Amino acid sequence: MAIHPTAIIDNGARLGENVTIGPYAVVEADVEIGEGTAVGAHAVLKTGLRLGKNVTVNEAAVLGGLPQDLKFSGARSYAVVEDGATIREFATIHRSAQEDGVTRIGRNCFIMSYGHVAHDCDIGEDVIIASSTTLGGHIRVGPKAFISGGVVIHQFTRVGELAMVGGGSKVNLDVPPFVTVDGVPARVIGLNTVGLRRAGVAAEEIKTLKGAYRALFREKRSLEQALSELDGLEGELAAKMATFFKSMLR
């Protein structure tokens, strides 16, 4: 364990083995830091934060801060950053506004500098959130999504698995899985074929997704008609896309 002598660590914090904490970092009470995690200089880890194993927290990040919610009344709540995640400089993550609630950053996520994740968000594994992007409260982001820099996402919005959000976009509607959105306001502009290939999705599966995309976005059909066609397509990812849209009909 390597803890700089200028770091301030509350006696109520719990540190795993081989943790590194840099100069002038602050670790408050009721913070857990997992084995092998590294905390940079001037980072602030607030009460209720749970860091997994081998997490990297860069300089001046503030994690577990109080939610920016006018209804928040001091409830005991948490922010969780799971194993292998990287949080870069000046990023901020707020804990939940709900009693015993959790703001979650999934395994191997990468939140770049000045990124902000608000209270009660749930970010899936392997998500990339680029610099200066802001997520409002209660947002759900699916695994392996890529959110570019300078994006603003409205609270209670969903971003689907392996979706891509273009830089500078304003997102105020749900982003379906496997697509690319862009613009102010953001709108679907195509299938995220580059991201799908990089994720190792088979060519046949991508071909099936293209059929689903045409039915949903390119042909003049009602949502019910498009979903009926999707039900006839084979493939796990087409089924996931259908499930996402069916949830909008409830």
Residues known to be catalytic: 119-120, 137
For residue 164, give every residue at least 6 positions away whose Cβ sits within 8 Å of its Cβ, in sequence order, or none: 145, 146, 147, 148, 179, 180, 181, 192, 194, 195
The alpha carbon of residue 18 and the mean position of all alpha carbons in its chain are separated, in whole angstroms, by 27
Side-chain-side CA neighbours of 109 within 13 Å: the count stands at 31
For residue 13, give every residue at least 6 positions away whose Cβ sits within 8 Å of its Cβ, in sequence order, or none: 27, 28, 29, 30, 31, 32, 33, 45
For residue 170, give every residue at least 6 positions away whose Cβ sits within 8 Å of its Cβ, in sequence order, or none: 151, 152, 183, 184, 185, 186
Residue whose entry in the numeric block shows the structure tokens 């830089």: 167
